[in-house]
């Protein structure tokens, strides 16, 4: 599926503020003194920008995405990064040679359970840690609330589970499925919430988000999406909204001792 660079740019500051700082720091630490990071579904390079300040300057990045236009944006901003145009629905021959960390952000909710199992199997084979930030967790709340918020969220969550090219998408269940699948593959998995908390300063992001939520809810069969959208749009410059995400850091069990203190479940 396609993602506009404008949408990725609009959401990036909220993503950066939302990422769990503890897991971000631990992921950077696990990448080691000469990091070689493979970022899956890299888009325009948001993970590189989030992790780089916490890594040595010699870090090498391989940015993997099926959209060459997004990777062109990334490489224009970060000429040292290596783009890798590839369809990740097939995990064969992932460019993992020499890698010290595999990362992803806002990707897991698009994928299926089988895909996650295959990924965990491949990464375990290479004894690689996996840092996946910002998986939508199915929780959305608004202040002030509207009676229809719950029904809209339920319809949106249903739409999130339609196939995005990887088989039936996990949508809101992605982070908990990843936790289970990586644990079964021999990892210690740490999780932490990374919600967007959006206020009036984020009105442009809130506005586009509402467009996307209403369109998806209508697609899933919710018939009053337009009315909800109109009522919510009025609140954008005054109200607040919270969109739930989760970050996970999956660490091969033999490498947990390399971590400092870290919260997890």
Q: Which residues bind ligand SAM (CB under 6 A)?
A: 1, 3, 8, 41-43, 46-47, 65-67, 70, 87-89, 105-107, 110, 165
Other CB atoms within 10 Å distance of the CB of residue 22: 18
Q: Which residue, among 246, 155, 142, 144, has the nearest Cα to 198 in the 3D structure? A: 142
Task: Identify the CA nearest to 246 among candidates 141, 134, 106.
Answer: 134
Question: Distance between alpha carbon 127 and the CA centroid of its chain, in Å?
Answer: 22
If the CB atoms of residues 65 and 202 are measured against ligand SAM, the closer one turns out to be 65
Min. distance of Cβ 208 from ligand SAM in angstroms? 13
Shortest approach of ligand SAM to residue 85 CB, angstroms?
9
User: Quick one: 67 or 118, whose CB is closer to ligand SAM?
Assistant: 67
Provide the token pair at 84: 């890798």
The nearest distance, CB 15 to ligand SAM, in angstroms, is 6
For the bound state, the minimum distance from the C-beta of residue 217 to ligand SAM, rounded and expressed in Å, comes to: 19
Return the number of the residue (47 or 206) whose C-beta is nearest ligand SAM: 47
- Closest residue to ligand SAM, judged by C-beta, is 43
Burial class, 143, CB count within 10 angstroms (exposed 0-12 / middle 13-18 / buried 19+):
exposed
How many other CB atoms sit within 10 Å of the CB of residue 221?
A: 10
Min dist CB 189 to ligand SAM, Å, is 20
Q: Closest CB to ligand SAM among 52 and 105? A: 105
Contact call for residues 122 and 150 (beta carbons, < 8 A)? no
CB atoms within 10 A of CB 258: 13
Distances (CA, A) of 137 to 2, 4, 116: 21, 22, 16
Nearer to ligand SAM by Cβ, of 19 and 188: the residue is 19
Query: Smaller CB distance to ligand SAM: residue 95 or 254?
Result: 95
Contact (CB, 8 A) for 40 and 115: no
Return the number of the residue (6 or 97) whose C-beta is nearest ligand SAM.
Answer: 6
The H-assigned helical ranges of the chain are 5-18, 21-30, 46-51, 68-77, 113-125, 149-160, 174-184, 203-219, 225-235
């Amino acid at each position: 599926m396609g993602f506009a660079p404008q949408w990725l740019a609009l959401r990036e500051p909220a993503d950066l503020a939302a990422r769990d700082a503890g897991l971000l720091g631990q992921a950077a630490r696990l990448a080691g003194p000469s990091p070689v990071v493979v970022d899956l579904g890299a888009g325009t390079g948001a993970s590189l920008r989030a992790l780089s300040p916490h890594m040595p300057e010699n870090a090498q990045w391989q940015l993997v995405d099926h959209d060459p236009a997004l990777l062109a944006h990334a490489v224009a901003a970060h000429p040292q990064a290596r783009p890798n145009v590839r369809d990740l629905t097939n995990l064969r021959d992932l460019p993992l040679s020499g890698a010290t960390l595999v990362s992803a952000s806002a990707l897991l909710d698009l994928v299926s359970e089988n895909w996650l199992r295959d990924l965990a199997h491949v990464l375990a084979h290479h004894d690689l840690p996996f840092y996946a930030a910002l998986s939508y967790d199915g929780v959305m709340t608004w202040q002030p609330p509207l009676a229809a918020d719950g029904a809209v969220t339920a319809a949106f969550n249903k739409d999130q589970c339609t196939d995005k090219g990887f088989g039936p998408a996990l949508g809101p269940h992605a982070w908990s499925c990843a936790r289970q699948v990586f644990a079964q593959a021999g990892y210690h998995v740490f999780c932490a919430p990374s919600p967007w908390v959006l206020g009036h300063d984020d009105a442009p992001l809130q506005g586009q988000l509402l467009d996307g939520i209403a369109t998806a809810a209508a697609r899933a069969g919710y018939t009053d999406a337009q009315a909800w959208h109109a009522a919510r749009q009025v609140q954008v410059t005054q109200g607040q909204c919270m969109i739930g995400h989760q970050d996970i850091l999956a660490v091969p069990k033999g490498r947990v001792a390399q971590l400092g203190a870290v919260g997890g479940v």
